[in-house]
Chains A and B, each alone.
Chain A
Amino acid sequence: MKSKIMALAGLGLVTSLGVAACGSGSSSSSGASGVSYDAATTGVVNPSTHKGGTLNFGMAGDVDSTDPGNTYLALSVDFDRLYVRPLTTYASKPGQAGGTIVPDLADGLGVPSADMKTWTFKIKKGIKYEDGTEVKAADVKYAVSRTLDRGVLGNGPSYFTQLLIDGSTYKGPYKDKNQADFKGVTTPDDYTVVFHLNTAFPEFNYVVAFGQTAPVPQAKDTGAQYALHPMSTGPYMWQGNYTPGKGGTLVRNPNWDASTDPNRKQLPDTINFTAGMKQEELDQRLISGTMDVDANGTGVADAARQQILTDPKLKANADDPYSGFSWYLPIDTEVIPNVNCRKAIIDGADRDAMWRAYGAQYGGEMSTSLMPPNISGRQPSTLYPVKPGDHGDVAKAKADLVACGKPNGFAVNISFRSERPKEQATALALQQSLAKVGIQLTLKGMPATTYTTSQFGSHTFNKSNNIGLGTYGWAADWPSGYGFLNALTSSAAIVDSGNSNVTMLKDPTVDAAWKQVVTLNDQAAREKLYNQVDNTLLEQAGVLPNVYAKSLDYRSPHLTNVLVQGYYGMYDYANLGVTK
């Protein structure tokens, strides 16, 4: 069994190395149409106002939900913008500017009270649902209230449960139909929505960018089945019902008014969404032009990657943006309690091999911190500097082991998701490099479906199975240090199922920083604290950084207005058009 895993991991490693080698020549290439490699990460490719045609989205798997109140994935938040409008959204811009929050349903950003516990939003007048009725403030209140029924809509973020004054006590409109009982949101008039928080929260404009604030008319709510046909306020509406696992079709919403919506265009006549495709087949259809966008936005599979990188014409139609994910290895500080033992792991790691396991420069950038580059104000750390070619510092790692009191090393298990060759290859590379310093890693492959909930996401499991570290990845809920780091480092975030603070960090300075940061209205001051938290995690050797992920996306030549939205790390779906 062990040899099988090693063989598979080795194969993945070899494949990655092969791809890296193939693509290590010119970093840019141009196609016949003048578009060039990675062009959509810095500007708009094929700008056009041409209307008409059919835009075809495909994806392996399915969206987590088409109910905007029940989604969490970045792809869903990006895609939902085609048919719903939350209070705020992200600017349709590439790079760091994509992290800028802008008004959407609201006519301006939220206005906080002096103590930042009350946030007031004015919504635009004249915005209509697909059936022609006007959106009112009460619809936003209702939309938020329904997300508090965590049994029915438990997939979305739980910020409203945590932040609203009665978020944890009001059980939602399905159990308490009287909206007056819900005090967390009030609507003094038809166009004003006021959020009442139990704590100051300076980044609340980000929280309302989730689809949970997209208005829902109470009379049209079908509860758990609302995902079949959420009422549109965006440029498109569902034609009939969405079929989970298969997909659906979006058509123009005749009641959408472009003058109220500077964030979206309404170019194609029809948008087809096909779920449940095989990734390799989807890649080939993208290349052959019968499919336009991979909705997952996480890049093509290995075979297509090699095909694209070795063909200049195809490469000119590819982009390699930061995906927003940080791939790293949390080290459980209770399984490996001595900080010097943890440092030995970091110092002895063959970072070059781990980076290559993710596809080298096309798979990501070697990371020095937890926060990836798309996080506002993030500073790279200097604690563990790294560059391609670094294969681990054996002498330093051995010195760490002496300081740890285990000069001959120790044995511990490392977990990874069996279905992910890159994670296997990473674990294998680490195993080989740490063996040189005396740390014996045993590889434990686990199913991806239960990995973050029941296995590596459970400290009890890790402790009872001597799992000291594992492969892991994280993307921000919004592009700030809070949106990225809080769930990974706050001791309050520790739970025994679906635990994201896998490090089990209970550092008093970090917890104090999280208490302090919500009182700071000054963004720069908050960002300073976020960087300190990130640094503390490294000082405590609670994580072994790996890569700031990139994904090689293929941009169909038929697409117009293509840009990689800086925060989502994928194409900006709300403004795409097609030439055919």
Chain B
Amino acid sequence: MGAQPAGHPTPHTVIAYIIRRLLGAIGLLFVISAVTFAIFFLLPRAAGMTTDQLAARFAGKAPDHATLVAIEHRFGFDKPVAEQYWQFVKQLVAGGTYDTGTRTLDCPAPCMGYSFRTNQPVLQTVIDRAGVTFSIAVGGAILWLLSGVAIGVLSALRKGTMFDRVSMGVALAGVSLPVFFTAELSQAFLVHKWQLMPDVNYVNFVSNPLQWAQELILPWITLAFLYAALYARLTRAGMLDTLNEDYIRTARAKGLREKTVIIKHGLRATLTPLLTVFGLDVGLLLGGAVLTEKAFGLKGLGMLALDGIGSSDLPVVVGVTLIGALFIVLANLAVDILYAVVDPRVRLS
């Protein structure tokens, strides 16, 4: 093995960089959890809400006072908020236990507690739901990246033609139309009226990959329609800028094949800003494709978060928020590392 070329990151540099970023992410996650806790507990109290009123959300109709007191005690609402947060942090780092009434369950670290509503471990629920969100996000991302970049490149190469104008017009429509609109429309016509596509459901990839893809194709297309539009426009703009650069002219003058010029020299430079957007988009979607899941009734992290907020289920809300934040942090980290691969001018320092 020869010496590393000057300027290229060594494995040591990369590992140190990743560790540094992950430590920063952990600090960020604690801040996010504290803020979520404060929103859940401190803001209502500041607005005058009592612990009885908080407990009443988890009781049946017309609850008596004894019921409210018992619920306050079980969920810890009768303790100071700082103490409740400390308990949360402690079980996250060191694990905790959960009393079902008949037995005490271990909740190993990172323990995110148990749902106030379903009495299920939050981490397990989040992992269970993450499969749905992951399937939506990954399938959609592949589709929008491939189609968006391809359309963007072709539009740039055929600037001013009918293809360019039509594809950019469609792209504008895609960016403008919200997911819940296209989802409603596509389901009403493609699924129910014309029955060209199956009902949208989630089937585990491992149990039946073909059905998994068949039943998620509509959410993928809907997502891709929205995102591909943006990527097509970004790619087109980037390509047009790049193709006017001197080094492209030099490459052509050197007699390189047009395909090589376009892909290796033109597209590569365009990919850097696209990577940034792509990382953020995928990270956000992995944290919960709220609108897409809601529009198609898919039970992923987004729906879990929505249900958690709607039912005042704090452990679930905090759990999904933390996981969502983690996905965004990891996606950004991956993008930063990929920068160094795509663009040699970028250094991991």
A172 to B58, CA, bound (A): 19
Say yes or no: B56 contacts A222, CB within 8 Å. Answer: no
- B245 close to A (CB within 8 Å): no
Q: List 22 A-B residue pairs with CB atoms under 8 Å apart, sorted by A's residue number.
A: A72-B60, A146-B101, A150-B67, A151-B73, A155-B60, A161-B67, A222-B102, A224-B119, A244-B120, A278-B297, A284-B188, A449-B311, A450-B53, A452-B61, A453-B56, A453-B57, A464-B48, A495-B64, A496-B50, A497-B50, A497-B56, A497-B63
Say yes or no: B102 contacts A497, CB within 8 Å. Answer: no
Say yes or no: A174 contacts B52, CB within 8 Å. Answer: no
Say yes or no: A288 contacts B59, CB within 8 Å. Answer: no
- Give the residues from 90 to 145 in chain B that come closer than 8 angstroms, CB to CB, to chain A: 99-103, 115, 117-120
Measured between beta carbons, the chain A residues less than 8 angstroms from B64 are 158, 161-162, 495
A282 to B199, CA, bound (A): 11
- A487 close to B (CB within 8 Å): yes
Among B48, B62, B118, contact of A244 (Cβ-Cβ < 8 Å): B118
Say yes or no: B100 contacts A498, CB within 8 Å. Answer: no
Minimum Cβ distance to chain B for residue A496 (Å): 6
Minimum Cβ distance to chain B for residue A152 (Å): 4
- Give the residues from 231 to 261 in chain A that come closer than 8 angstroms, CB to CB, to chain B: 244-246
A146 to B64, CA, bound (A): 17
Among A72, A155, A223, contact of B102 (Cβ-Cβ < 8 Å): A223
- Give the residues from 417 to 473 in chain A that come closer than 8 angstroms, CB to CB, to chain B: 449-450, 452-454, 457-458, 461, 464
A158's nearest neighbour on chain B, judged by CB, is B64
- A402 close to B (CB within 8 Å): no
Minimum Cβ distance to chain B for residue A368 (Å): 24
Say yes or no: A246 contacts B73, CB within 8 Å. Answer: no
- B318 close to A (CB within 8 Å): no
- A149 close to B (CB within 8 Å): yes
A-side residues, CB < 8 A to B, are 62, 64, 72, 146, 149-152, 154-158, 161-162, 168, 172, 174, 221-225, 227, 244-246, 276-278, 280-282, 284-285, 287-288, 290, 449-450, 452-454, 457-458, 461, 464, 487, 493, 495-500
Minimum Cβ distance to chain B for residue A225 (Å): 5
Known: A223-B100, A227-B119, A497-B50. A150 touches B297 (CB 8 A): no
Measured between beta carbons, the chain B residues less than 8 angstroms from A245 are 118, 299, 303-304, 307
Say yes or no: B117 contacts A500, CB within 8 Å. Answer: no
- B167 close to A (CB within 8 Å): no
Say yes or no: B60 contacts A288, CB within 8 Å. Answer: no
Say yes or no: A496 contacts B70, CB within 8 Å. Answer: no
Minimum Cβ distance to chain B for residue A206 (Å): 16
Measured between beta carbons, the chain A residues less than 8 angstroms from B44 are 454
- B265 close to A (CB within 8 Å): no
The dominant DSSP class at the A interface is: loop
A221 to B102, CA, bound (A): 7
A103 to B66, CA, bound (A): 31
B297's nearest neighbour on chain A, judged by CB, is A278
Say yes or no: A449 contacts B312, CB within 8 Å. Answer: yes
B119's nearest neighbour on chain A, judged by CB, is A224
Say yes or no: A276 contacts B303, CB within 8 Å. Answer: yes
Measured between beta carbons, the chain A residues less than 8 angstroms from B100 are 152, 222-225
Measured between beta carbons, the chain B residues less than 8 angstroms from A172 are 101
Say yes or no: A276 contacts B187, CB within 8 Å. Answer: no
A223's nearest neighbour on chain B, judged by CB, is B101
Among A64, A149, A290, A452, contact of B70 (Cβ-Cβ < 8 Å): A149
A87 to B296, CA, bound (A): 41
Minimum Cβ distance to chain A for residue B211 (Å): 15
Say yes or no: A72 contacts B199, CB within 8 Å. Answer: no
- B192 close to A (CB within 8 Å): yes
Say yes or no: A500 contacts B187, CB within 8 Å. Answer: no
A498's nearest neighbour on chain B, judged by CB, is B56
Known: A155-B58, A276-B307. A497 touches B73 (CB 8 A): no
A487 to B62, CA, bound (A): 7
